[in-house]
Chains A and B, each alone.
Chain A
Amino acid sequence: MRGFMKGYVLKRILQSLVSVFLVSTLTVFLVFSCIPRQLVFKGDQMLQKLANRPDEYQDYKFRTWESLGYLDYITMKEYAQSIYGNDSDQVSTALQSGSSFYERFRAELQAKRYTVEAQPVTGYLYAYKDIPTMTRVLRWYANLVQVDHPWRVKDPNNPDLKRGYYFTKDWSGMPALAASGTLYKYQIWIDGSFPFLHQNIIHLYMGRSYPTYDGIPVLEVIGMGQGRTARREVTTKVGGQEVTFYTSIDEHTLKYKPDLDRLDKNKFEDNYADGNNIYQDPSMLGISFRIGIMSLILSLGIGLTIGVVAAMRKDKMFDKVTMGYIVFISSIPTLLYIALFARFGMKILGLPDKFPFLGAQNFLSYILPTLSLSLGGIAGEALWIRRYMVDQMNADYVKFARSKGLTQGEVFFRHIVRNALIPIVHSIPMAVIGTLAGALITESFYAVPGMGKMFPSSISDYNNAMIIALTFIFTFVSVFAIFLGDILVTIVDPRISLAARKEAR
């Protein structure tokens, strides 16, 4: 039996991973091949400023495309520098108009299958070559997992950089494993927030965000705090002396910084001086997670309760009201009932109908988005459990139990509800997927700064990396939920546990 379970779990894990892989590959491929590359500039302010300087405009566009992985881009100046070194005389002679270097550049790069074009004003040449979509998909996967190690930083100005691990204490005095030569200073540390033990050794990287949150890796955008920075007093040792200063830097995110300025040297002993800020409000992930989990609990709790009660009072008033609610919620568009509910919550309960009114610190901001998100789930769960219970009530074993003289309550809670445990477990993945889908709508409606709002706004901004990352996260969560549901069902199902007991004898 155990062997069977293990095999089944292994098979399901493999299946789930294949699903996530296929969906993300397809997404990456479609985004890279179907979205016209001109569109990525739609939300870029910089490009509008350059509009009346055609050369810089052209250069900026190609540099951005290169950094987003669309193409390889090389200018005449860069090519000359790569040949003559940084010797400015030879480079500037090569760039003078009428120089033979123009012909050389054209010939050599065309031989490498580059397209060579001239800049509109200065006439300098530049060359570019498209990177095939399949290569870009492969690169996306190649960059996905980034492992930090003591030989990662290669700084020519700092050849004596020590390389290795050591134990230390962070600013709050907690023990931590730090390293030198790595990208991140702190490798493993402990603190008071979930999941308590943190690491910097393995990072996922899904590209950088552009044009919104320009330059920041997309997963950092989703994971970093929002709102105002939070400053605190920190006492640390620099060169054997105790220093006290106010800062909002999160010491656990400190990265290697090649050029230290005077301020950095006052605060840090080593080159690890580049850290992210601590913010007052939770991250997009954090906000979506809070709202999602709460509404999941609400929809399962309330939905299952009213479903069971409706089944017990079949065809009575309560059942009819519940069925009316279910028909209402499942027929009218989500947007409409959320709008209705928001009006009700604002006018009658006096709650804010936009999240930013009171902000992420205030508990009241979360009430309407959470409840709105659970409205659909409640209807789904209630319908599901009611139908299951009603079917069970006519089952032979229930009739038999009743004819033996068991009371209505005994029959209900000893037999029917126990059997209904299986569909309850089975309905959890459904509820998770419903919550994910609902988050896309409710978060936009209430202007909640979470992942669900980020997705449609990334679509309007053509933030490709963000769209891919969010699709990956959403797919991963729903695949994982389905996997968990399947495993739980095999554990909970009484028929399987019965077989296990027989074998044990």
Chain B
Amino acid sequence: MTDKTAEKFTYATFDILQSEHIAGPKYSYWKSVFQTFFKKKWSVFWLVLLLVMTLMAFIQPLLSGYDPAIAPNINKPETWYLKPSAQHWFGTDDRGNDMWNVVWAGTRMSLSIALIAAAINIGVGILVGAIWGYSKRIDPILLGIYNVVSNVPGILRSMMLMYIFGRGFWQIVLAMTITGWLGVAFFIRTQVMIIRDREYNLASRCLGTPLKRMVTRNILPYMVSVIATLIYQEIPGLINTETVLSYLGIGLPTTYPSLGRMIDTYWSFVDTYPHMIVFPGIVLGLITISFYIVGQLFADASDPRTHR
């Protein structure tokens, strides 16, 4: 009897590491972020839409080879103003171009400008903002510059700069970025100032956490959500600026396809051939909304406080 119960037990070895182990659930930041994000079907839908549209915008123009400077069907009136059909999904325009090609070429242009400008603004903004938040010496200087620049409405600034630089792709990027990073940097500076003096960081510093670990474990997880917020507001905003500049005739030259230029050129057909304005409009609307919503949902998911 005694022997049989003894068989069910084994001797445990004494392990110094085991005794140090703190019982608690395993937590991985990024795993939790994606778990929270993908839990909602809503976010998956918008993410897929965003990916499909972005891929279409970057791949389709390579295949179609559409160039607004060349109008191959200009002398074939039978190809003009066609309504959407199986052959031409979005119909054709006043010069016989397939609207499907036109729309994706325009989306590619607008999206490239917005992505490049956003990358520069956010990259420079984060870098400068992080230093700005820590350094007391450069704070008054940058704050002075920021106060002057932010007094001028953003679109006015871009228009002014476009006038100075002239029309063109890189000119637009420059006009958007030359003062655009300042707003991002100011936002980051404020966040860094708030987070760096929080109690948990103070405690962490007192306990001797090295700076590298502080930055990667304490500050960055908070900043991910802040940066995601920045991105989802920045990209639709920059697409907006590009469309406005091109629509007003001071952005891209007429030989470039872009969503803003499309609204400008096809607006006169809005009553007679509405398909020429409706499809660019839908694509433009969907792409900016999906950027905005995916970004917002990701920003929510990347906030450590929402992880359970």
Contact = CB atoms under 8 A, between A and B. Distances in A.
Interface of A: 15, 18-19, 22-23, 27, 30-31, 34-35, 327-328, 330-336, 339-340, 343, 433-434, 436-437, 440-441, 444, 455-456, 459-460, 467, 471, 474-475, 478-479, 482
A333 B284 contact: yes
Contacts of B156: 436-437, 440, 455, 471, 474-475
B159 A433 contact: no
Contacts of B236: 330-333
Contact of B159 (A19, A434, A459, A478): A459
Contacts of A474: 152-153, 156
Contact of A471 (B160, B263, B296): B160
B256 interface: no
B250 A332 contact: no
Contacts of B233: 330
A330 B296 CA distance: 12
A331 B160 contact: no
B244 A327 contact: no
Contacts of A482: 151
B288 A27 contact: no
Given A335-B244, A456-B249, A27 B270 contact: no
Contacts of A459: 159, 162-163, 248, 250
Nearest to A432: B153
B293 interface: yes
B284 A332 contact: yes
Given A330-B292, A331-B291, A455-B159, A35 B164 contact: yes
Determine the main DSSP class of B at the interface with A.
helix
A31 B164 contact: yes
Determine the main DSSP class of A at the interface with B.
helix
A249 B288 CA distance: 52
Contacts of A15: 147
Nearest to A479: B151
A332 B289 contact: yes
Contact of B152 (A18, A23, A340): A23
Residue among B148, B164, B288, B296 facing the most chain A CB atoms (10 A cut-off): B148
Residue among B152, B239, B259, B284 facing the most chain A CB atoms (10 A cut-off): B152
B178 to A, nearest CB: 11
Given A441-B155, A456-B248, A23 B148 contact: yes
Given A30-B164, A333-B239, A336-B284, A327 B263 contact: no
A343 B244 contact: no
A19 B143 CA distance: 12
B164 A440 contact: no
B159 A333 contact: no
B49 to A, nearest CB: 13
Contacts of B240: 333-335
B145 to A, nearest CB: 9
B263 A456 contact: no
Contact of A335 (B152, B250, B263): B263
B154 interface: yes
Contacts of B296: 327
Given A336-B281, A479-B151, A482-B151, A456 B159 contact: yes
B72 interface: no
A9 B239 CA distance: 39
A437 B243 contact: no
- Which 4 interchain pairs have the tightest Cβ spacing? A331-B292, A437-B153, A456-B248, A333-B240
B273 interface: no
B288 A332 contact: yes
B247 interface: yes
Given A333-B239, A335-B260, A475 B250 contact: no
Contacts of A333: 236, 239-240, 243-244, 259-260, 284-285, 288
A190 B112 CA distance: 57
B153 A433 contact: yes
11 contacts: A331-B292, A336-B281, A339-B281, A434-B153, A437-B154, A456-B159, A456-B250, A467-B163, A471-B160, A478-B153, A479-B151
A440 B247 CA distance: 11
A460 B249 contact: yes
Interface in B260-303: 260, 263, 267, 270, 277, 281, 284-285, 288-289, 291-293, 296
Residue among B151, B243, B263 facing the most chain A CB atoms (10 A cut-off): B151
B285 A332 contact: yes
Nearest to B239: A333
B161 to A, nearest CB: 8
A444 B263 CA distance: 13
B110 to A, nearest CB: 9
Given A332-B288, A459-B159, A460-B250, A34 B164 contact: yes
Contact of B293 (A19, A331, A339): A331
A441 B148 contact: no
A497 B201 CA distance: 36
A22 B149 CA distance: 9
A34 B296 CA distance: 40
B177 to A, nearest CB: 16
